[in-house]
A = this chain, B = another copy of it.
Amino acid sequence: MTQEYDVVVMGAGPAGENVADRAVRKGLTAVIVESELVGGECSYWACMPSKALLGPVAAVDDARHLEGVGGAALEPAGVLDRRDRFASHWKDDGQVTWLTGAHIELVRGQGRLTGPKTVAVDGTELRARHAVAVATGSDALIPPVPGLAEAKPWTSREATSAKEVPKRLAVIGGGVVGCELATAWQALGARVTLIARGQLLGGTEEFAGQLVAGGLRAAGVDVRLGASATAVSRPRPGGPVTLTVDDGTTVEADEVLAATGRTPRTADIGLETIGLEPGSWLDDVDGTLRVNGVDGGWLYATGDVNHLALLTHMGKYQARICGDAIAARAHGQEPAATAWADQAAVPQVVFTQPEVAAVGLTAAQARAAGRHVRVVDYDLGAVAGSKLFADGFSGHARMVVDEDRHTMIGATLAGPGVGELIHAATVAVAGQVPLSQLWHAVPSYPTMSEVWLRLLEAYGL
């Protein structure tokens, strides 16, 4: 059986959903192919459940740092119930209802390209009149540590969906997933050991990782930096797991979480039928997320699978642009260059304690890119709003200024409660607002956002 649509989308995560939604809103027909749950990784095994776990942890931690507030305590069973609710109990009825309301067709099953503009799902052939968008996402990467795969490690999936708190948890990897889930499970009662090859949160400003390491240690996590697991063994299924670490020690735990990166979910989607390499990132895309070098320009890649920025909000952003571009081209128009995806202002919030929020370039990235920069630092704890937020507040803020353009090109905050502060910088970076004009954007007193004023004052305005 062959069905024809204007757009065929492979993968019903946030990126795929947004591509289809934007295309349909602009008058096209669209079908989404999904082999697992509609809603994708984010809804069931990443953002939503992890933040559902971490919200109560933050609230208790923040409340405990306020004289005049007593008694706040985590109730692990309640936190897990809350997490189950935010993961919709791993059922996708709500998302399917949304698809229906958005007039997007759904075909369940493993989709595979069989040639240009054609995707097969079991017995059905889906033909795209205009475009196929790959939004299949990424999987956790299990690093090649001897014995690790056999020890049945947790990935981000198990670590966001586990029904019980392990007594002891070993975490391999000091990136966002490792740091966030170490924070959550330690707070929920596990004794966590985190093993990181370098510093924590590599790729962000160094102070952020240092503050997070301090927070994890204060919470009781055994943080080992500059260390690697060289072997893992779990002699008995369900029994304890032992990690051999290259600092000469061993770590015994009940579960081990592999949090060492992602791999593209492209191994089994038929890329070979159109001359692309199965298992590779679809990372050669233009600003409309169209894959370069494909005859006829009908293939797009949005979200994790293009490796531009493995973040739900950036996948959705790309998807809006991609869906709009597909629709524009279907109507014979070429999208304006101003509508192309911009990588200058990618924000990220890490929901550890303290939180980390960053956008744009770090000082090192800006210098490596040959930009003429000035770096401005400020003690976030010196801001009145920070002192009010938490007694003994400790945090730090950095702004990176392009001295040729006189604009902010990067900012990083680390401290309790900073997650909602970063969007102001994202607007400044994406909007290329000159510092002389930012000077007139007055933060309300006494909010923590006053740090943006302090940074400008420290710059010399």
Contacts and interface: CB of A to CB of B under 8 A. Distances in A.
A156 to B, nearest CB: 15
A51 B385 CA distance: 9
Interface stretch (A61-69, A189-197, A295-303): A61-69
A86 interface: yes
A432 B427 CA distance: 11
Contacts of A72: 59-60, 63, 69-72
Interface stretch (A89-97, A241-249, A308-316): A308-316
User: Interface residues of A toward B: which range?
Assistant: 35 or more
Nearest to A436: B338
Contact of A66 (B55, B68, B422, B437): B55
Contacts of A345: 440-442
A198 interface: no
A442 B314 contact: yes
Interface stretch (A30-38, A73-81, A226-234, A272-280): A73-81
A259 interface: no
Contacts of A432: 437
A335 interface: no
Interface stretch (A161-169, A199-207, A367-375, A443-451): A443-451
Contact of A420 (B312, B421, B436): B421
B426 A312 contact: no
Q: How many monomers of this protein are in the complex?
A: 2
B313 A450 contact: yes
Interface in A308-365: 311-314, 316-317, 338, 342, 345-349, 357
A108 interface: no
B48 A444 contact: no
Interface in A406-461: 417, 419-424, 426-433, 436-438, 440-450, 452
Interface in A102-147: none
Given A78-B67, A430-B437, A431-B427, A422 B445 contact: no
Contacts of A313: 442-445, 450
